[in-house]
Amino acid sequence: MRITLKRFLAAAILTFTVAAPVAAQQPSQPLSGGDEQSVLVGAGLTFMNGGDETALGVAGNVLFNALTTSETGRIGIVAGFGVSKFDFATLTTLMGGAR
């Protein structure tokens, strides 16, 4: 594959025009608030493709703040659950870990 000079210059210009605003952003600070007894809950819809079929499902997760590692961070215990229903099967996912 042959890369022409015009394509190379166009890619370089695009890269540098997008990179300049990103470099100018302020570094993000960690979120403040919460304590060891905080619980974060998330929920959403899922779309899973299995062959020629797409299944609609639901998913949720829960985060329990468990260990304080420093002033700006905590290690939490996460539990996740999901269910997707196909015509001839139901897919259930259970996950857990640390975040």
Per-residue pLDDT tens digits for 45-61? 888 887 788 888 899 98
Contact 89, 99 (CB under 8 A): no
With pLDDT > 90 as the criterion, what percentage of the chain qualifies? 4
Work out the average pLDDT over 66-89: 79
The secondary element (H helix, E strand) that includes residue 81 is: strand 74-85
Confidence at 30, pLDDT banded by 50, 70, 90:
low
Alpha helices in the chain (DSSP H): 5-24
Residue 64 binned pLDDT confidence (cut-offs 50, 70, 90): confident
User: How far is Cα of residue 44 from the mean position of the Cα atoms in its chain?
Assistant: 12
97, 80 contact by CB (below 8 A):
no
Q: What's the pTM value of the predicted model, to 2 decimals?
A: 0.49
How far apart CA 38 and CA 13 sit, in angstroms, is 46
| pLDDT attached to residue 85 | 85
Take residue 30 and report the two structure tokens written for it: 């960690």
